[in-house]
Amino acid sequence: VLLYFWASWCPICRAEEPGIRAAVEAMDVPVAGFRVNFDVESALKKQFKIPYQHTTVILDTRGQESSRFSGPVDGDTLRAAIRAAAK
């Protein structure tokens, strides 16, 4: 599971989202990817302790956080983190 905390007014989020989408679509393992609206989903922000938008959280097969990226992350790094979480 990939959670991408974003905001429509965030220029980093708008720039980063196409790369995240492409990385998820290119995966050879199943990925459930969700955009989480930073301004609306306060319960999820609190649950995952998200201090600001443009944060990506990857959960493993048990629902535990396995990786977190704050700010831009390149596709190779993101795909490697997803693969590790899928094991």
Range of the domain at 30: 2-86
What is the distance between the alpha carbons of residues 70 and 26, in angstroms, rounded to a whole number? Answer: 21
pLDDT tens per residue across span 28-58? 888 999 999 999 999 999 999 999 999 999 9
What is the distance between the alpha carbons of residues 30 and 22, in angstroms, rounded to a whole number? Answer: 14
More confident residue, 87 or 39: 39
Evaluate if residue 87 carries a pLDDT over 90. Answer: no
Count of structural domains within the chain: 1
Which amino acid is residue 48, in one-letter code? F
List CB contacts of 39: < 8 A, sequence separation 6 or more.
7
Q: What is the CATH number of the domain that holds 61?
A: 3.40.30.10
What is the distance between the alpha carbons of residues 35 and 48, in angstroms, rounded to a whole number? Answer: 14
The predicted structure's pLDDT at residue 29: 87
